[in-house]
Structure 1
Amino acid sequence: MPVPDTAATTRAWVESPLQMVSALEASAAGELGDTVEVIYRAGIPSLAELAARLGTVALPAGTSVTAWDTRNLWLRGYPEAFGDAFSGALQARGTVARRRPLVVLDDGLATLHLLDLLTAPAGGPLVRARARPGSLRRALAGAARTRLLHLAREGHLTVFTALPVRDQVADAFTELGGRLVRHSFAWSASLREPELHGADIVVVGSAMATDGLIRTDAYARWVHAIADEGDGEVVYIPHRRESPAITATVADRPSIRVERGPWPVEVSLRCLPAGTVVHCLPSTPLLTLRTALADLGIRLAGSAVPDDWWTPNASARFRSGVVALGGTAT
């Protein structure tokens, strides 16, 4: 067990719907001890909506979900589990001096980036893939990497993920002493939340347009082309941070129906009927949905990002990473 003191309460700090579901999956799998408090960042609408929906379902035994202001997060010490290992606040307040076991929860592609940095012989400081940190921030992130490596060597670092970790990375992390625990959204699958109906074609939105990495007009044309090729209605699920302006540009015709909901797509799309086609750009959902939708008869179609979509904000390193994720899954 990564949290050996089962009599104590394990706190899992989450800042996105995927992190929240990951914490609940970890609790259901017994990776966080007997009593688990999932504490989510107050003031984020998507988290508040998901927490409200969770109030209507049976949570894993011994688990509760509570909103916390970031100013109060440290009143009871450092959380035993979290998703964002690149958070400067978490690194500054405890990662560099931590002695107790730690569980890192799914945070999308950032989780793969973390494992790459921890296992590479010349791995850099723990900063986000697109970050350009100053010298002080790099020093803090370097100290955080050193601390996590020390926890791994002591057998006190667990990464809990549904993402497909490359074999060489998984082996290297295990050789360091870390625990890599994989899951398949088993607890979420038991909910069978009926989120979508009448959808034969679904487009999962990408944050790349919202983050200014790809051109909005090109992104909208991609969705329009999918809608124009189909015979019926296309359901478009915007990224949780997508602006109303981008959504309006994308859904500018009656054949495109916008659907938003509190659940991450890894949960909400499980109710789709066999034969449904789900379109994604290279992103976290393209990877996690391969696991979440496995054996359901739902086709997952990944589209590459053409060179003329990119904006100057997308670095060469980021572009190459996206290219590596491209392709089609069934």
Structure 2
Amino acid sequence: MSPRAGSAGPRPASTHTLAFVESPVQLLNVLEWAHADALRAAGEPTGPASGAGTGAEAGGPAPAPAAGPGADASTAGAAPDAAEAASGPTPGTAGPSPAPIPEATGPAGGPVPGTAGAVAHTGLTLVVLSPNDPMTRGQLRRMAELARGEGHEVRWEEARGGATAPFHTVGGLAPLLRRAKRIVMGDPFSRYVQLLLTITRARDLVVVDDGTATMEFVSQLARGERLVRWHRRGGRPGPRDLVFAPISASARRRLTPGSGRRVEVFSSMPITETPDGVHVTANDFSWTRARFGPPRLTKGADLVGTSLVETGVVDPDRYLEAVKNLTKTYGATRYFAHRRESTDKLHRLAVETGLEIVRPDLPLELIARRGPIGRTILSFPSTVVHTLPLALVGTEVRVAVCDIDPAWLTATASPRAQGFLSGVTGTARDVHRLSAVSAAT
């Protein structure tokens, strides 16, 4: 897949590139962007036609032997933090299924064991603005290993480690921000990132995917609207929103091309409204395909969880009924939990559906590519209905999506919710639409 019309030309990562991430998916997409950027700089094609298939074909590591579905979490690399290590598997759940990734440590300047041609000091400094959630922290540490294995510098910031943490974080990053020539960010809605944008003088800004939120970000930028997450639209701004409004407005201006500013959006999502001057580049997951797989396929179906209950969009009882119906209809055996799903909800799902609950230690795109994975992957409207077909191109895996029935929405759900979720499903390519679950209503 070649870059879309209007995409950026070759611009290799320089010693002045600074990336900010707050989630494992954002970190994965920074790695994808850096890989694609290096290929563009070298004049090499990207996308499925470039031959970036299995690890062996692309010069990457041989596929790791896959563990069984009930592999213990310790075999998949537990996070070193005491809080993360103490969290353990969710009651009634299993640890991550896939085999561990080789340790991404090695002599400076040389290949890292288990990686393909990694070299030290690529010129990209990746700053992790760490959240407090143990599951997210664990996945971020695993992704940080991969980033170091690719030769990128990783800086871990305890950005939310107490009342004074933001001041220490911003103060410590200020010199790097002032020197940076290019800023890469995974979440333009983040107040942390918006604050950091007021410090930098960089004229080259890149936004990489943060899932379906990227679609909303680009649309809001095109329409000149204030930046607000889709599930919060329609509500009145709170006191903190009003206090932060000037910084948010400044960030939106910084993310608008002009006055020598170059803005790139690197995305696998369908983008229909492109702001004038914004370069849109396709993310085809060529790094993931080059480094991992192809996966071993199982006979059954796997179900992908969502945090729509946790964000207040979907009623928990309706969600449970939908999962029950999908499990019975399609013979699903495993449920890959979203990192934000609550322990109580997952325990209830395990007890009432019989599903094996899996807490992945990496983003699902990598889990699926490494395998083992079901021949059918069932999902509700989410980012994975767009990303998994790209990561699994050339395999026999079928991705199927179940729409959210309006009756499942909570009374407090944003008026924008149903239309946005329908748009996520309707614009997905290479997925199958499901209707049998409608009986759950």
Q: What TM-score results when the alignment is normalised by the length of structure 2?
A: 0.64
Structure number, greater radius of gyration = 2
The answer to which of 270-279 and 7-16 deviates more is 270-279
Whether the 8 Å CA contact 2:226–2:249 is kept in 1: the answer is yes
- Asked if the contact 1:36/1:63 (under 8 Å) is kept, the reply is yes
Give the aligned residue type for 2:152.
T
Q: Mean alpha-carbon deviation: is it higher for 234-243 or for 41-50?
A: 41-50
C-alpha contact 1:205 1:239 (8 A) present in aligned 2: yes
Quick check: 1:311 aligned with 2:311? no
1:140-184 alpha-carbon deviations (Å, 9 max, x no partner): 323322221145x63511111121222xx2xx33xx222211111
1:169-180 superposed matches below 5 A = 169=273, 172-173=274-275, 176-180=276-280
Shift of 1:83: 0.9
SS in 2 for 1:258: strand
Of 342, 349, 361, 1:250 maps to 349
Q: What amino acid is the match of 1:159?
A: V
Amino acid corresponding to residue 252 of structure 1 in structure 2: V
Residue of structure 1 equivalent to 2:286: 186
Out of 378, 383, 402, which is 1:279 matched to? 378
**Secondary structure of the equivalent of 1:241?**
coil
Partners of 1:66 and 1:55 in 2: CA distance: 9
Aligned-pair CA distance for 1:323: 2.2
Gap change, CA 1:222 and 1:317, over 3 Å in 2: same
Q: Which 10-residue stretch deviates more, 254-263 or 127-136?
A: 127-136
Structure 2: which amino acid aligns with 1:259?
V
**Percent of pairs identical after alignment?**
26
What is the SS of the residue equivalent to 1:209? coil
1:278–1:301 Cα contact (<8 Å) kept: yes
Partner of 2:263: 157
1:1-330 equivalences under 5 Å are: 8-30=15-37, 34-42=122-130, 43-54=132-143, 61-70=150-159, 71=166, 72-74=168-170, 75-77=172-174, 78=177, 80-95=183-198, 98-120=201-223, 123-131=224-232, 132-133=236-237, 134-151=241-258, 154-166=260-272, 169=273, 172-173=274-275, 176-192=276-292, 198=298, 200-231=300-331, 234-253=333-352, 255-272=354-371, 276-326=375-425, 329-330=431-432
Moved more, 90-99 or 124-133: 90-99
Alpha-carbon RMSD across the aligned residues, in angstroms, is 3.1
The amino acid of 1:127's aligned partner reads V
Q: Letter of the aligned partner of 2:209 in structure 1?
A: D
Matched residues in 2 for 1:292 and 1:95: separation?
35
CA distance in 2, matches of 1:118, 1:2: 22
1:228-248: CA deviations, max 9, x gaps? Answer: 2245x5110111011111101
Off by >6 Å, runs of 4+ in structure 1: 1-5, 193-197
* Cα distance change on mapping 1:52 and 1:119 into 2, 3 Å: closer
Contact 1:97 1:147 in 2 (8 A): no
Report if aligned partners of 1:274, 1:296 keep a CA contact under 8 Å in 2: no
Label 1:194 to 1:240 Cα distance change in 2 as closer, same or farther (>3 A). Answer: farther
Count of residue pairs the alignment pairs up: 320
SS state at 1:242 partner = coil
- Whole-Å separation in 2 of the counterparts to 1:195 and 1:135: 48
CA 4–185 in structure 1, closer or farther in 2 if over 3 Å, else same: closer
Distance 1:275 1:61 in 2: 29
* Secondary structure class of the residue paired with 2:389: helix
Higher relative contact order (CA 8 A, sep 6+): 2
Deviates more, 1:17-26 or 1:255-264: 255-264
1:286-307 deviations in Å (ceiling 9; x for gaps): 2222322233221111111112
